[in-house]
Structure 1
Amino acid sequence: MKVTAVFDIGRTNKKYVLFDENYQIVEEVSESLPETTDEDGFPTEDIGLLTEWVQSRWEALKNNPKYDIKAVNAAAYGASLVHLDAENKPVAPLYSYLKPYPEALLSQFYTTYGDPTRIALQTGSPAMGMLNSGMQLYWIKHTKPELYSKIISSLHLPQYILFLLTGRKVSDYTSVGCHTGLWSFEMWDYHEWVKAEGIQKKMPPILASSSFIYRSGDKGIQSGFGLHDSSSALIPYRMALKNTFVLLSTGTWCINFNLFASKPLTSYQLERDCLNFLTPEGSGVTTSRLFMGREHDFQVARIAEYFRKEPDFYKKVVFDEKFLTADTPKFYTSCMVGNGPFPEPSPQEWQISAFASAESAYHHLMVGLTNLLSVSLQLIGINEVQSIYIDGGFARNEIFTRLVARNFPNHTVYATELPYATSLGAALHVTRPQTYGFKEEIIEIKP
């Protein structure tokens, strides 16, 4: 069987997915690997274990007589760098993007290179410490100079996975352009601070094409360049849809993509968790973020505890109009300090005791979350597009999807069922079919 293999590396699950020529999954293997800690004791990905896992699974796949592997690609989470020495071995831990950034070093950086807002506007990246992966290299250079001198190549994680598969070192737009602080959206090149520090010399060249052929024994396999996972999940929609749209990629984070926004980011947007991404071809994508899944789970746990319900009680709650008409307390967030459209701390806690039932409280939780989402979408020009597509976990939540449709009566709202959008996007990008559609996975939502 002719297949395309995709290694899809998430924070929790590592998997490979095999697609047939019609982009149907023929095999999926998913595993969870234990974490390790860096030299400061901070939890992080075990890069040695991940390396071994990818290499062993890839060798087994290539030697499996059931499959004729025609193409391969990788997708992985962003803001993570693997640093290689002269022997192409990792020379440092894969430092976590959650690791706190030293305040003194941040102060040094901005004293040297100027106003944080100006740099954030130019790079399309809110100042987020280690989440700006360029700042990880700055941190190593200035606090671990001996380690920095050993680094020959720094690869973002998707490109490191690709290196393990093909032996080729590249950079790609989706990884360099996702809140890294590395890329100047004004100059369409590495930012001036990156060049002043010489950090771009550690990064392999960015290649503009979508694939290359590499040799595995006497066989040629078509390979992509690796993709940042959120940007990869956008690809099936870009290929299948002809109308203008915003994609809501929902999960722990709700990441909202508008390919059709034409204006540069403002400081007002940056302060409210808007940022720029890059497509694999290097075009800008205006994006906003909302810590919606985390807020949802936190408040659901509070509701369940107060009303003595099972933790997953909300999965059985059915949309009911009567719960939306009662006079209820204002919704306040608990998990969105420093992010989302209202990053300031909430003045008080949301009062669950004011509700008569868990079902009523849950409806109003979803009203609160969708109202926040509406503000987040207004920030990225939702009124400039025709449709809204909801992907991910919240696409299966009827209360959520119907409330989104109510909030945007002038848009057509769809829930989509693409549970493997990230892997599929990586497969489509490397193989480049003439046409691709997924109509059977699209459900139009009525308010």
Structure 2
Amino acid sequence: MEKGPERLPVIAILDIGKTNKKLFLIDEHYRIVWENNCRFPEITDEDGDACEDVQALTQWVHSSLQEMLAMPQYRVKAINFSTYGASFVLINEQGKVIAPLYNYLKPFPGDLQNKFFAQYNQQQELPGITASPILGSLNSGLQLYRLKYKQPELFRNIRYALHLPQYVSFLVTGHACTDITSIGCHTMLWNFREQQYHQWVQQEGIADKLPPLCPSDEVMEVKLHGGAYQVGAGLHDSSAALIPYLASFTEPFALISTGTWCITLNPFNDSPLTSEELQQDCLCYLAYQGAPVKASRLFAGNEHELQTQRLATHFQVAPDYYRQVEFDPLIIRRLQAPGAPVLTSFAGRSLAAFPDYETAYHQLMLDLMAAQQQSTQLVIDNTAVKRIFVDGGFSKNPLYMHLLAAAFPEQEVYAASVAQATAVGAALAIHHHWNTRNLPGDLVELKYFKAESPKQKA
């Protein structure tokens, strides 16, 4: 009897962003051999605020895994997950979802915020101890505090609050756990000094709603659709995106992970957060093996999307017309000439002041880069960082990359392409459970950008 073709061993990764939900099969050389993605329309919670459709997401997880595991040409050995952070899925004793997946941008009640900080931040130390700027619902621990006082019946019925990566893992394993990369992501839950939950989490009974901690690099064996698979607990996407770089480089570097948020991560900065850094949206993440990573955040991808929509409407072009705009040092020189209007935000500029889309888009990128330079500088100051890597959407944007190189002339600036860094990071986190090969030496592809002087081009 003739033997069929060998099935390619792979790991399946579900990579869930705010906008795109992606599926990947990755081989033992960390090459993506199959991918798919989709988007869901948002729904609203009981207050009319936009939120993720958790039921649609749940159905998509189940159907996607069924599809991937059934592919005859691949042998799935393991499964892991990376998702956006600061978001809880609330389940009851029966494992059923009992509330909307509240958006981390949901307005936080002012009266409750005042009550919380009056009780737990009397010495003004809570943000520093928890490495969390005061961010309202983006401090996901405060989402649970809000439910306790605004929806006590719902709070009583919560068996577990699962950060989104762990909820997706729970759908596959049936095992509820808490992962350090989610807890260590501006949640205000974790005491970075003592490496345990902060006292307020115990005092408010919230610790009882959080399942046991599990290591980010461990797996559970799960039987599914007739096969046995090694399944990870899932990772916060920003921490997952860092893993390919930590695996590839030992010299100090910073990574700007770009998407809806542009997050500068410096794994080589272990200095305690200062109150000034916290006020400027700095924080610490916890890497998948528990080490703190100083980071700064900028909502630049979101701003770029809003402003390119505005530009498209004004100049009557397609929403993605910006992809055709090439970096022009002469336009930069004109926009930076003495006497040019200085504003802190492109949103405040009149589009009538620009002769064409290209000029307006260059100004948008200059304004975004002014904010990016300030944000990144916060976490690379006083460290030995000599290289800055950029991954995600802006790494493919020539204006962003050229302007970043000009903004950081003392560092080497690279567009880093790890095909789908968060997905590859989630696969690398559990490498030793599914992959017997050595890590490849070419995980990260780099393209160098040299600071270019507009004056030389004039």
Q: Same fold (TM over 0.5)?
A: yes
2:15 aligned counterpart, secondary structure? strand
1:148-297, aligned counterparts within 5 Å?
148-208=155-215, 210-216=217-223, 219-297=227-305
Alpha-carbon distance between aligned partners in 2 of 1:85 and 1:136, rounded to the nearest angstrom? 17
* Structure 2 unmatched runs, 5+: 1-7, 452-458
Say whether residues 1:48 and 2:60 are aligned partners. Answer: no
Alignment correspondent of 1:314:
322
What is the deviation of 1:390? 1.0
What is the deviation of 1:155? 0.8
Query: Normalising to structure 2: TM-score of the pair?
Result: 0.88
Alpha-carbon distance between aligned partners in 1 of 2:95 and 2:311, rounded to the nearest angstrom? 51
What is the deviation of 1:360? 3.4
Alpha-carbon distance between aligned partners in 1 of 2:216 and 2:416, rounded to the nearest angstrom? 29
Alignment correspondent of 2:404:
404
Alignment correspondent of 2:456:
none
Alignment deviations for residues 234-286 of structure 1 (CA, whole Å, 9 cap, x no partner): 11111112221111111232111011112111111111111111111111111
Q: Is the 8 A contact 1:392 1:419 kept in 2?
A: no
Say whether residues 1:324 and 2:324 are aligned partners. Answer: no
Q: Is the 8 A contact 1:239 1:437 kept in 2?
A: no
Alpha-carbon distance between aligned partners in 2 of 1:167 and 1:319, rounded to the nearest angstrom? 50
Query: Normalising to structure 1: TM-score of the pair?
Result: 0.90
Letter in 2 for 1:415: A
CA RMSD of aligned residues (A): 2.2
Alignment correspondent of 1:346:
none
What is the deviation of 1:334? 5.2
Q: Is the 8 A contact 1:275 1:288 kept in 2?
A: yes
Alignment deviations for residues 373-394 of structure 1 (CA, whole Å, 9 cap, x no partner): 1111121124520100011111
Give 1:136's match in structure 2, choosing from 140, 143, 151.
143
Deviates more, 1:302-311 or 1:370-379: 302-311
2:46 aligned counterpart, secondary structure? coil
What is the deviation of 1:37? 2.4
Alignment correspondent of 1:378:
377
2:125 aligned counterpart, secondary structure? helix
Letter in 2 for 1:381: I
Say whether residues 1:442 and 2:425 are aligned partners. Answer: no
Q: Is the 8 A contact 2:216 2:235 kept in 1?
A: no
What is the deviation of 1:203? 0.9
Alpha-carbon distance between aligned partners in 1 of 2:36 and 2:352, rounded to the nearest angstrom? 44
What is the deviation of 1:190? 0.5
Alignment correspondent of 2:29:
22
Alignment deviations for residues 345-394 of structure 1 (CA, whole Å, 9 cap, x no partner): xxxx3355555544334333323322221111121124520100011111
Alpha-carbon distance between aligned partners in 2 of 1:240 and 1:299, rounded to the nearest angstrom? 35
Q: Is the 8 A contact 2:107 2:136 kept in 1?
A: yes
Change in Cα spacing, 1:329 to 1:307, as seen in structure 2 (3 Å) is: farther
Q: Is the 8 A contact 1:239 1:436 kept in 2?
A: no
Alignment correspondent of 1:341:
none
Alpha-carbon distance between aligned partners in 2 of 1:215 and 1:437, rounded to the nearest angstrom? 31
Alpha-carbon distance between aligned partners in 2 of 1:153 and 1:113, rounded to the nearest angstrom? 23
Q: Is the 8 A contact 1:248 1:391 kept in 2?
A: yes
Q: Is the 8 A contact 2:184 2:285 kept in 1?
A: yes
